């Protein structure tokens, strides 16, 4: 498994380092750095815990192939492993537009029309819930670019 910390999102809180010190470090920077790549099997659980607990969702798995023994996964193919569960949860994203804040400028629709629309209302409506992975980066960008900070992401 390989993990990545988005330096734009990381606030340097140190939670990841506290939970998985072999994988994440803030020793050399004000944002967390990945110091074990790929993450060794013994440290995957701790790394995924950090991923789950990161308050900024700054940690992502960029390659989920585990270095753990394949026997661990073959025990019950039908059952979702804790790793799959956490990864699946992490992928889910929901966007909410605060109608009281939205001024209908259309910036969000311009960035990602698959997710935001002003076709039917004077404010932006969210068309997709949850947001599919392929639109998540653009949705985050739309939230950042919204001049009224009307878009929140969960
Ligand atoms: S838990 Fe998240 S925000 Fe905190 S230091 Fe680690 S990556 Fe950065
Ligand atoms: S960018 Fe913000 S203010 Fe503009 S339409 Fe979208 S949600 Fe509304």
**Integer Cα distance of 104 and 146 in angstroms:** 10
Do 84 and 11 lie in one domain? The reply is: yes
Block means of pLDDT (10 residues each) for the chain, 154 residues, are 91 96 95 95 94 91 65 47 54 89 97 95 93 91 96 90
Do 69 and 16 lie in one domain? The reply is yes
Instruction: Name the H helices within 95-146.
Output: 107-111, 133-145
Q: According to the model, what pLDDT value does residue 61 have?
A: 86
User: Angle CA(28)–CA(32)–CA(33) in degrees, nearest 5?
Assistant: 70
Distance CA 67, CA 54 (A): 23
* 9 and 84 housed in the same domain: yes
Mutate to test the pocket of ligand 1, among 31, 33, 35, 52 (most ligand atoms within 8 A of CB): 31
Same domain, 86 and 121: no
| Distance, CA of 143 to CA of 152 (rounded, Å) | 7
- What pLDDT does 74 receive? 46
Which long-range contacts link 19-24 to residues 24+ away (Cβ below 8 Å)?
19/46, 19/49, 19/50, 19/53, 20/46, 20/47, 20/49, 20/50, 22/46, 23/47, 23/50, 24/50, 24/59
For residue 70, the model assigns a pLDDT of: 47
Last residue of a domain, one of 37, 57, 91: 91
- As a whole number of angstroms, the distance between CA 114 and CA 131 comes to 9
Number of domains in the chain: 2
> CA-to-CA distance for 16 and 22, rounded, in angstroms?
10
Among candidate residues 56, 91, 126, the one where a domain is terminated? 91
CA distance 79 to 115: 32
Q: Does residue 111 have its Cβ closer than 6 Å to ligand 2? A: no
Nearest CA to ligand 2 atom 3: 102
Q: State the CATH number of the domain containing residue 102.
A: 3.30.70.20
Task: Provide the domain limits for residue 105.
Answer: 95-153
pLDDT at res. 89: 53
Q: How far is the CA of 122 from the centre of ligand 1 (A)?
A: 37
């Amino acid at each position: 498994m390989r993990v990545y910390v988005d330096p734009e999102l990381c606030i340097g809180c140190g939670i990841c380092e506290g939970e998985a010190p072999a994988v994440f470090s803030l020793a050399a920077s004000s944002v967390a750095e990945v110091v074990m790549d790929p993450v060794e099997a013994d440290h995957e659980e701790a790394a995924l815990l950090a991923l789950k607990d990161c308050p900024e969702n700054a940690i992502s798995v960029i390659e989920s192939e585990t270095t753990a023994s394949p026997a661990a996964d073959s025990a019950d193919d039908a059952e979702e492993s804790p790793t799959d569960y956490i990864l699946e949860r992490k992928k889910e994203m929901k966007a909410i537009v605060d109608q009281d804040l939205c001024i209908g400028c259309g910036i969000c629709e311009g960035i990602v029309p698959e997710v935001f629309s002003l076709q039917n209302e004077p404010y932006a409506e969210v068309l997709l819930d949850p947001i599919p992975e392929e639109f998540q980066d653009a949705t985050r960008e739309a939230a950042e670019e919204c001049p009224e900070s009307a878009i929140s992401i969960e």
